[in-house]
Chain A
Amino acid sequence: MKETQISNSEKTFVQKIIAGGHRLDGRIYSETRNLQIAFGSDYGSCMVSLGETKVLAQVSCEVVQPKQIRPNEGIIFINVDISPMAAPQFEANRQTDHTVNLNRLLEKCYKDSKCIDLESLCIVVEEKVWSLRVDVKILNHEGNLIECASIATLAALAHFKRPDVTRVGDKVIIHSIAEKDPIPTVLYHYPVCLTYAIFGSDILLSDPSYIEEAVCMCTFEEGSAGGGLLVVGMNQYKEPCLLDLTGAAIHNVNIVHKAILSASEKGKSVVDVLKKAIISDDTLRLKRVKINYADIITTEHKQSLIKKDISICLKNYNANDINPESDVEMDDDVQIVEPSKYDVVPTLPKTAELKVKAEKSAWIEISSEEDD
């Protein structure tokens, strides 16, 4: 199925509202959506949701022969799968530019940044090494797949534990989890990809939603400055690991600098959340609490029906604040709504018209040019 085109009115509306300093879902420019990390019953299985975008990652391992040029290093392989479940425009079992791009970005971020200690994955030099395979499955696409997928990949890798191995002479014994405690993967640093949508020449939106991504990527015939998506890979030590730009070229020199500064703060906070989640998961596992997706799937399911974050929202207004006592902050100039002067009058079947109420205007016109 073809991707639904963004209409002109949506485009102009989103552009105008962003130029006005707001966003469609009431966030500020640098605000991200709600991040949730949940772990499955197995080691290395995790589901990350960023607002309504959901990604499942699963790490598995097997023993293989190492590459000729790197005989003492393990192998890591990342596979991204986007199915029609994520959004109807994707086709099953077909590599598209989107999938390849996402795969390549994740490889750049986790393989090329050398965050994983590959040498520790070696069992017998030139004969046997562990090969880690990360399967990333997109469950729902609501914008910013890259950031969500990268957090999921990192969480799955950090959570993963491989079986312990002992060597007796030439023989290699792989112990089951019951026999010996499994070994966690060694990560030197925790890089995450953070996405920024560039609007105009100097507006940076973090964590763009689906419509914001679509609007900033579309080209304009009029000479207005095109936008693009800037992906910044950042680890918890505030070191950039990856920089990727899709869309129009950047005119402004400062924008990349600004993005990296903001990403360094955000990257650290994401890694902190992730580490906390892994530690709490570990303590729960030590207490032999059963952990699986069962409980989050039921609550998530309920949420997807009630839809906690409505894609169109006033700033700081929450769907649950139905009671009038809610403390909602104002961000705009104060507007005074006059009692309605309009009436909706049914005209044709199924349609209605706005009509000025047939009341006399309360305003009295006074000429200001009075003679002295």
Chain B
Amino acid sequence: MKVKIGDVVLPGDYCDEITADGVKSKVVLGPGLRKEVDHVYIMKAGVLRKRNPNTFWVDSYQKRYVPSRSENVIGIVVQKAGDLYRVDIGGSCTAALSYLSFEGATKKNRPEVQIGDVIYAKMLVASKDMEPELVCVDSHGKKGRLGVLNDGFVFKCSLNLIRKILNPICPLLESLKNEWPFELAAGMNGRIWIKANTMRETIAVGYAILGAEYLSDDEIKTMCTNIASILAGHVS
């Protein structure tokens, strides 16, 4: 079926607008779109989106992570294998993390990583035929924010929610940060690590994030103030 930008689309639909744009200039096909001989076909169920001038993608609901390069993810170390750590990132297979890809690590000086630790890392290699590879340093050899995350709590959510809260126009983190202090690391693989001063505050952050999935911007703001007033004990 022929569809337009902004429509709800199903796999097998095709969009002529993209083909027409492609004649004039190069277009970027994002997730859920594939070029066949004559048309651009849709491969996922969702909403067809466009960002000017020429980027197209399908906004779909997904929980399974498909690795892609240069994304920050949160993984759990499941195995030590020689000079590699195997990290579960929620994808189809585990990712490899070399023990040399930590700041200041040498052959003699191994980083202290235990099985079961939570790792915040960047995706270096994400080819569909190979095991994904992670690093905990940037191109200057500095760790930045990457590395082992201690304490706190990790929970899973949908990939859409991660994109929603990391979107600069989303008011969630903006309103939460004014209520009480907390630390947060959001992995694009649908895992969020949070840490606050008390257990109660940590749970409140987690609850606010999970609850925000189907709320509008205004509702998110009210929810944040509500949770804060419960935490503060103003509501009896």
Q: Does A361 contact B (CB under 8 A)?
A: no
A311 to B153, CA, bound (A): 13
Q: Is A324 within 8 A of B177, CB to CB? A: no
Q: Does A314 contact B (CB under 8 A)?
A: yes
Q: Is B155 within 8 A of A311, CB to CB? A: yes
Which residue of chain B has its CB nearest to the CB of A1?
B92
Q: Does B88 contact A (CB under 8 A)?
A: yes
Q: Which of B153, B182, B223 contacts A10 (CB 8 A)?
A: B153
Which B residues are CB-close (under 8 A) to A334?
232-233
Which B residues are CB-close (under 8 A) to A343?
177
- Mark interface residues in B123-153 (1 if CB within 8 Å of A CB, else 0): 0000000000000001000001100011111
Binds B, one of A11-19, A56-64, A171-179: A11-19
| B230 to A: closest C-beta gap in Å | 5
Q: Is B117 within 8 A of A7, CB to CB? A: yes
Q: Does A354 contact B (CB under 8 A)?
A: yes
A110 to B86, CA, bound (A): 44
A332 to B178, CA, bound (A): 22
Q: Does A290 contact B (CB under 8 A)?
A: no
Q: Does A22 contact B (CB under 8 A)?
A: yes
Q: Is B173 within 8 A of A344, CB to CB? A: yes
Decide: A9 near B150, CB < 8 A? Known: A17-B199, A324-B229, A350-B166.
yes
Q: Does A351 contact B (CB under 8 A)?
A: yes
Decide: A337 near B179, CB < 8 A? Known: A9-B150, A11-B116, A348-B144.
yes
Q: Is B222 within 8 A of A322, CB to CB? A: yes
Q: Does B67 contact A (CB under 8 A)?
A: no
Q: Does B66 contact A (CB under 8 A)?
A: no
Q: Is A8 within 8 A of B118, CB to CB? A: yes
Q: Does A321 contact B (CB under 8 A)?
A: yes
A322 to B173, CA, bound (A): 18
Q: How many residues of A contact B (CB 8 A)?
A: 50
Majority secondary structure of chain A interface residues (helix, strand, loop or mixed): loop
Which A residues are CB-close (under 8 A) to B179?
337, 340
Which B residues are CB-close (under 8 A) to A69?
none
Which A residues are CB-close (under 8 A) to B235?
324, 326-328, 330
| A352 to B: closest C-beta gap in Å | 8
Q: Does B231 contact A (CB under 8 A)?
A: yes
Most B-side CB within 10 Å, residue of A6, A11, A322, A326: A322
Q: Is B236 within 8 A of A330, CB to CB? A: yes
**What range describes how many residues of B lie at the interface?**
35 or more
Decide: A337 near B177, CB < 8 A? Known: A7-B116, A312-B203.
no
| B105 to A: closest C-beta gap in Å | 20
Q: Is B229 within 8 A of A7, CB to CB? A: no
Which residue of chain A has its CB nearest to the CB of B174?
A344
Which A residues are CB-close (under 8 A) to B152?
9, 13
Q: Does A277 contact B (CB under 8 A)?
A: no
Which A residues are CB-close (under 8 A) to B214?
305-306
Binds A, one of B31-39, B44-52, B204-212: B204-212
| A18 to B: closest C-beta gap in Å | 10
Q: Does A5 contact B (CB under 8 A)?
A: yes
Which A residues are CB-close (under 8 A) to B72?
350-351
Q: Does B5 contact A (CB under 8 A)?
A: no
Q: Is A351 within 8 A of B144, CB to CB? A: yes
Which B residues are CB-close (under 8 A) to A12?
151
Q: Which of B90, B203, B207 contacts A4 (CB 8 A)?
A: B90
Q: Is A340 within 8 A of B177, CB to CB? A: yes
| B204 to A: closest C-beta gap in Å | 6
Q: Is B181 within 8 A of A340, CB to CB? A: yes
Most A-side CB within 10 Å, residue of B182, B198, B202, B235: B235
Which A residues are CB-close (under 8 A) to B18?
none
Which B residues are CB-close (under 8 A) to A317?
207, 227, 230
Q: Is A314 within 8 A of B204, CB to CB? A: yes
A344 to B202, CA, bound (A): 17
Q: Which of B182, B223, B225, B233 contacts A336 (CB 8 A)?
A: B233
- Mark interface residues in A15-32 (1 if CB within 8 Å of B CB, else 0): 011001010101000000
A26 to B155, CA, bound (A): 16
A311 to B213, CA, bound (A): 13
A334 to B229, CA, bound (A): 11
Q: Does A283 contact B (CB under 8 A)?
A: no
Q: Does A347 contact B (CB under 8 A)?
A: yes
Q: Is A6 within 8 A of B116, CB to CB? A: yes
Q: A317-B207, A322-B222 are in contact. List 18 more A-B contacts (CB 8 A).
A: A4-B76, A7-B116, A9-B118, A16-B199, A22-B199, A311-B155, A312-B207, A312-B210, A313-B203, A324-B235, A328-B230, A329-B236, A330-B235, A335-B198, A337-B231, A347-B144, A347-B145, A350-B72
| Residues of A participating in the B interface, judged by any CB pair closer than 8 Å | 4-13, 16-17, 20, 22, 24, 26, 305-307, 310-314, 317, 319, 321-324, 326-330, 332, 334-337, 340-344, 347-348, 350-351, 354
> Can you give 17 contacting A-B residue pairs, CB < 8 Å?
A7-B154, A10-B154, A13-B151, A17-B203, A310-B207, A312-B206, A317-B230, A322-B219, A322-B222, A324-B225, A330-B233, A330-B235, A337-B180, A337-B232, A340-B181, A350-B72, A351-B144
| Residues of B participating in the A interface, judged by any CB pair closer than 8 Å | 72, 76, 78, 88, 90, 114, 116-118, 138, 144-145, 149-155, 166, 173, 177-183, 185, 193, 198-200, 202-204, 206-207, 210-211, 213-215, 219, 222-223, 225-233, 235-236
